[in-house]
Amino acid sequence: MATIREIAEKVGVSVGTASFVLNGKADDMRISKKTQTRVLEAAKELGYQPSLSARKLRVKGKEVPVIAILWTLDARTSLISRFLQGIQSKSTYQEGQFELLIQPYENGKLRELHALKTGLRFNGAIIANASDEDMHYLEQANLNLPIVVYQRHSKNYATVLVDSEKTGRDVAKKFIQNGHKQVSIVIPEVSSEAVALRIKGFLEECRVYQIEVDELYGDFSEAGGYAVTKQLLMVSPLPSAIFFLSDYMAIGALSALHEANVKVPKDIQLIGHDNMIATQFTIPTLSTVNLPVEEMAEASVNLLLKILRNAADPHEQLKFSSYILERESSSFE
Amino acid sequence: MATIREIAEKVGVSVGTASFVLNGKADDMRISKKTQTRVLEAAKELGYQPSLSARKLRVKGKEVPVIAILWTLDARTSLISRFLQGIQSKSTYQEGQFELLIQPYENGKLRELHALKTGLRFNGAIIANASDEDMHYLEQANLNLPIVVYQRHSKNYATVLVDSEKTGRDVAKKFIQNGHKQVSIVIPEVSSEAVALRIKGFLEECRVYQIEVDELYGDFSEAGGYAVTKQLLMVSPLPSAIFFLSDYMAIGALSALHEANVKVPKDIQLIGHDNMIATQFTIPTLSTVNLPVEEMAEASVNLLLKILRNAADPHEQLKFSSYILERESSSFE
DNA sequence: TTGTACGCGTTATCAA
DNA sequence: TTGATAACGCGTACAA
C-alpha cells in the first residue's frame, strides 16, 4: 500500500510528476521517458495501489451514495439474482445515482460485520434474510446508519415486506377449499421471520378448520425438497396436499414423486412459494405464491435513497401483497 | 451534498463539534443537548451526506481494493447468483480483503461506462458477458486498469475461460455416437464469444461426420426454449436430438415436448448447457455441459487480486475444462 | 468546545 | 523542455 509520495521519493521526483506518469498523462506533460519508466517500476516494486478515496475527494461533484446489500451466505443466495434484476430494471440505476455494494454476512453473525458500525464502506444498507439473532442485534444496536430491512418487521428501521401470515392462511384456505383433510407443510431450515409467519398463518387456519398438518423440514434447495419427499414416501398414508415454503424444494419434490410414480395433482397436490420462473415450466406446472421480489427490491433501493436525502421517514413500512398462482399442481383435472 | 463545514458554519459551531454530534460521540464530549439538536437539524435541512472518501482517507489502514463485477443488463443476470456464490464460498471474501461492487452495463455499451476510464469507482474489474463490440472497445481502449475478462479471449487483459469450441465438438460427438443423423442446435440471442465458439465447434464436428444440423434461435430463458420448441413441433420431421446452449432453454423445451406428448429421450434427446442445479430435478433429468461458473468466479477474483498486488501477469490466461454430464435426456433406456 | 494538522491524489501555478 | 510546489477536498482526532 505505497503512496504516490513514497514513489516520488524513491525515484527522486515530485509527487506531481509521479501522478502524471501513473495516469498516462506523462507525454502531455513532457515527462522524459526515462523518468516515466523509473516511476512505473517503482510503483510496481512498492505495490502501489491508488487510493480511490483520495481521488474521489479531489475530483469534485462525483461522489454518489454507496448502497450495500447485506446478503447471507446461505442457500438463499440463489434469490439474489431476482433482487438484482429488480434494481437494475429501473432507471435509477442507469443514471449512476448510487453505487451498489454486495456485502455478504454469515447468518446470525451480523454483529460481527464491522462495516455497519464504522460507516466506512457504505452510506446505507438493505438487509436481506436477517435471522432472529441478527434482527435482535440490529434493534438493540440502534445504528444511526440508514437501513432498510427486507422481509422483516422492525421498530427502529424502515421495512419492505409482504404479509407473510396472510400468505400462510391463503394457502391453507386453498387446501381446505380443495377438500384436503390431511396436509403437510415443508419448512426450509433457514431462520427467517417471513418463513415463521407463513407457518403460523398456515397452521392457525388449519387448526380452525381442523385439518391435520404434518410439519417436515429440509434444506432450502431442490435436493432438500427431494430428500424430504423421499422420506415422506416411505410412510403412509401420504398427505393429499403439501405446501412447500420454497419453489426449489417443490421442484425437488416433483422429481421424487415422479420417480415413485405418484401423480401430481391427481394423487397429491403441491403449492410452492416465491414464483420462480422455473415453476411455469415444470411437469406439471407448479402452483406457487407470487412473491414480488423484483418490486420489493426496487422499492427497497428507492426507499433507502429517499431516506438518505431526508425525503422519507426512516421508519417507513412498505407493504406488498402476495397471491396464489394456481397452476396444474393444485388443480383438479 | 452539504459538508460538515457548512453545517458548522450554519449552526455557528466548530467542525469538530459538528463531527462529534453527527457520529453520536456528543455525549462523551459533553456537547450541550441544544447544540446537538441544532446540528442535527442543520444536517437534515442541508441534506448532509457524509463523504466516505474523506472518512476512509482519515481512518488509517482501512482502505481495501474495490473489485467491480461488470454484468450486462440482460437475461443472463440469472447466472450471477452462481458467480457470487463462487466468490463467497471462499475464505478470501470473509477476510474483508476487498469490497465487491456490482456494476451493470448495457450489452454493447461498455464504452459508455465512464467508471472504466475515470478510475474513481473501483481498483479493478471483472468483465462478464462482454459482447463483440464491448470487447472491441476494450482491446482498443487499452485501459490501464487491471481487468479480468470472463469467458472471452483477449490480447490485452487477463482471462478466465473454458475451451468453448471443444465443448461444442464434444456435444456433437456425443450425438454422433448416439447414432443421430439429423440434429438441431438452439442458440440464445446473446452476443457472446463463448456461445459463438460452441456453435462453431458443434457445426464443424457435424460437418465432418456429415450430420444434418438445423440452427434455431430464441430468447435466453425457459420461455425462449419453450417457444422455439413449439415452432419446431409444427414442422416435420423432428430432429432426433437437440443441443440447447442454455439449460433454461432446455427446461422450457422439456415443458413444450411434454405438452405435445413427445417423449424424452425416446423420441428426442436433449443436451443443455451450464449445469444449473435445476437440471438434476427436471423430468426427465437433463443432460448438460458442466460449466464451472463458481470455480471460474473464484479464480477471476483471485487472479484480479493478484494482479492488483503485482503477483500475477496482467495477461494471464486461466483455462478451465467443461464436460458433458449424461443424464436421462440423452440416454437410451 | 474550538482550532488545526492530517491523509493522499490531482492540478494549477511557478521555476529552471 | 522538464519538473517542483502547494492548494485543495472533507471528515477525524488531538491539543489547547
Per residue in B119-133, pLDDT tens?
899 999 999 989 999
Task: Flag whether pLDDT at A89 surpasses 90.
Answer: no
- In this prediction, residue A309 carries a pLDDT of 87
CB of A265 closer than 8 Å to CB of A237? no
Report yes or no: B246 at the A interface, CB cutoff 8 Å: no
| Chains A, B: CB pairs < 8 Å | 163
Band (pLDDT 50/70/90 cuts) for residue A90 is: low
Please tell me which residue of chain A has the smallest CA distance to B93. Answer: A104
- The mean pLDDT value for B232-251 works out to 95
Q: What is the dihedral angle through the alpha carbons of B197, B88, B100, A71, rounded to the nearest 10 degrees?
A: 120
Report yes or no: B235 at the A interface, CB cutoff 8 Å: no
- In this prediction, residue A88 carries a pLDDT of 81
Give dist(CA A204, CA B201) in Å, integer. 58
Task: Flag whether pLDDT at A262 surpasses 70.
Answer: yes
Task: Flag whether pLDDT at B148 surpasses 80.
Answer: yes
3-state secondary structure chain B: CECHHHHHHHHCCCHHHHHHHHCCCCCCCCCCHHHHHHHHHHHHHHCECCCHHHHHHHCCCCCCCEEEEEEECCHHHHHHHHHHHHHHCCHHHHCCCCEEEEEEECCCCHHHCCHHHHCCCCCEEEECCCCHHHHHHHHHHCCCCCEEEECCCCCCCEEEEECHHHHHHHHHHHHHHCCCCEEEEEEECCCCHHHHHHHHHHHHHHHHCCCEEEEEEECCCHHHHHHHHHHHHHCCCCCCEEEECCHHHHHHHHHHHHHCCCCCCCCCEEEEEECCHHHHCCCCCCEEEECCHHHHHHHHHHHHHHHHCCCCCCCCEEEECCEEECCHHHCCC
- In this prediction, residue B118 carries a pLDDT of 87
Give the bases of strand C that a protein CB approaches within 7 Å. 1-12
Task: Flag whether pLDDT at A62 surpasses 90.
Answer: no
Which residues of chain A make contact with B24, given a CB cutoff of 8 A? 144
Q: Put residue B119 in one of left, alpha, beta given phi > 0 → left and psi -120 to 50 → alpha.
A: left
What is the spatial distance, in angstroms and rounded to an integer, between the CA atom of B16 and the C1' atom of C4?
10
β pairing state of A182-188 and A66-72: unpaired
CB of A148 closer than 8 Å to CB of A159? yes
What is the spatial distance, in angstroms and rounded to an integer, between the CA atom of A306 and the C1' atom of D10?
23
- In this prediction, residue B318 carries a pLDDT of 98
Q: Kindly determine whether residue A254 and residue B222, on different chains, have CB atoms separated by under 8 Å.
A: no
User: Cα distance from A255 to chain B (closest Cα, Å)?
Assistant: 5
Q: Kindly determine whether residue A50 and residue B101, on different chains, have CB atoms separated by under 8 Å.
A: no
Q: Is the CB of A31 under 7 A from strand D?
A: yes
Lowest mean pLDDT among A74-83, A126-135, B273-282, B290-299: A74-83
Report yes or no: B63 at the A interface, CB cutoff 8 Å: yes
Whole-number Cα distances in Å, A188 to A66, A108, A220, B27, B153: 32, 16, 5, 45, 41
Place of cell 421424487: A256
β pairing state of A287-290 and A323-325: antiparallel
Q: Is the CB of A35 under 7 A from strand D?
A: yes
Better-predicted residue by pLDDT, B61 or A144: A144
- The mean pLDDT value for B6-26 works out to 90
What is the spatial distance, in angstroms and rounded to an integer, between the CA atom of B5 and the C1' atom of D10?
8
What is the spatial distance, in angstroms and rounded to an integer, between the CA atom of A175 and the C1' atom of C10?
67
Kind plus residue range of the DSSP H or E element containing A22: helix A15-22
Give dist(CA A181, CA A237) in Å, integer. 12
Residue positions counted in chain A:
333
- Residue ranges of B 75-104 with Cβ closer than 8 A to chain A: 77-81, 84-85, 88-89, 93, 96, 99-104
- In this prediction, residue B91 carries a pLDDT of 60
CB atoms within 10 A of CB B34: 8
- In this prediction, residue A61 carries a pLDDT of 66
Highest mean pLDDT among A50-59, A177-186, B45-54: A177-186
Task: Flag whether pLDDT at B333 surpasses 70.
Answer: no
Report yes or no: A122 at the B interface, CB cutoff 8 Å: yes
Q: Which of A1, A54, A81 sits opposite B81 (nearest CB)?
A: A81
Residue A166's contacts (CB-CB under 8 Å, 6 or more residues apart) are: A201, A322
User: Cα distance from B204 to chain A (closest Cα, Å)?
Assistant: 32
Mean pLDDT estimate for chain B: 93
Q: Kindly determine whether residue B55 and residue A119, on different chains, have CB atoms separated by under 8 Å.
A: yes
Task: Flag whether pLDDT at B60 surpasses 80.
Answer: no
User: Cα distance from B208 to chain A (closest Cα, Å)?
Assistant: 36
Band (pLDDT 50/70/90 cuts) for residue B26 is: confident
- In this prediction, residue B177 carries a pLDDT of 96
Which cell numbers in the block locate residue A298? 426496487
What is the spatial distance, in angstroms and rounded to an integer, between the CA atom of A298 and the C1' atom of D15?
48
- In this prediction, residue A293 carries a pLDDT of 96
Task: Flag whether pLDDT at A95 surpasses 80.
Answer: no
Lowest mean pLDDT among A197-206, A310-319, B39-48: B39-48
Band (pLDDT 50/70/90 cuts) for residue A289 is: very high
Band (pLDDT 50/70/90 cuts) for residue A33 is: confident
**Coil, helix or strand at residue A218:** strand
- In this prediction, residue B88 carries a pLDDT of 81
- Percentage with pLDDT > 90 across chain A: 72
Q: Kindly determine whether residue A121 and residue B99, on different chains, have CB atoms separated by under 8 Å.
A: yes
Q: Kindly determine whether residue A47 and residue B309, on different chains, have CB atoms separated by under 8 Å.
A: yes
- In this prediction, residue B94 carries a pLDDT of 66
Whole-number Cα distances in Å, B65 to A1, A8, A217, B37, B123: 10, 22, 41, 37, 6
Residue A72's contacts (CB-CB under 8 Å, 6 or more residues apart) are: A104, A105, A106, A107, A128, A129, A131
pLDDT tens for B82-138 read: 999 898 876 666 667 899 999 989 899 999 998 898 889 999 999 998 999 999 999
- The sign of the CA dihedral B52, B53, B58, B61 is positive
Report yes or no: B116 at the A interface, CB cutoff 8 Å: no
What is the spatial distance, in angstroms and rounded to an integer, between the CA atom of B32 and the C1' atom of D11?
21
Give dist(CA A69, CA A100) in Å, integer. 7
Whole-number Cα distances in Å, B77 to A86, A89, A298, B114, B245: 11, 11, 16, 21, 16
- In this prediction, residue A91 carries a pLDDT of 60
DSSP string computed for A123-192: SEEEE-S--HHHHHHHHHH--SS-EEEESS--SSSEEEEE-HHHHHHHHHHHHHHTT-SEEEEEEES---
Give dist(CA B236, CA A264) in Å, integer. 31
- Residue ranges of B 290-309 with Cβ closer than 8 A to chain A: 308-309
Please tell me which residue of chain A has the smallest CA distance to B146. Answer: A49
∠ CA B327-B245-B196, rounded to 5°: 140
What is the spatial distance, in angstroms and rounded to an integer, between the CA atom of A150 and the C1' atom of C11?
44
Band (pLDDT 50/70/90 cuts) for residue B235 is: confident
Band (pLDDT 50/70/90 cuts) for residue B76 is: confident
Which cell numbers in the block locate residue A45? 516494486
- In this prediction, residue A192 carries a pLDDT of 93
Give dist(CA B244, CA B179) in Å, integer. 18
Band (pLDDT 50/70/90 cuts) for residue B309 is: confident
CB atoms within 10 A of CB B275: 22
Q: Is the CB of A3 under 7 A from strand D?
A: no
CB of B131 closer than 8 Å to CB of B74? no
Place of cell 435445476: B278
Which residues of chain B make contact with A73, given a CB cutoff of 8 A? 88-89
Put the strands of the sheet holding B323-325 in their side by side order. Answer: B212-218, B182-188, B241-244, B269-274, B287-290, B323-325
Q: Nearest 5°: phi and psi at B23? A: -105, 15
Give dist(CA B67, CA B71) in Å, integer. 13
Residue positions counted in chain B:
333
Which residues, listed in sequence order, are joined to residue B158 by a DSSP beta bridge?
B148
Which residues of chain A make contact with B65, given a CB cutoff of 8 A? 49
Whole-number Cα distances in Å, B230 to A188, B75, B216, B223, B246: 36, 21, 12, 10, 17
User: Cα distance from B317 to chain A (closest Cα, Å)?
Assistant: 21
DSSP annotation of A286 reads P
Give dist(CA B143, CA B154) in Å, integer. 13
Which residues of chain A make contact with B314, given a CB cutoff of 8 A? none
Better-predicted residue by pLDDT, B16 or A241: A241
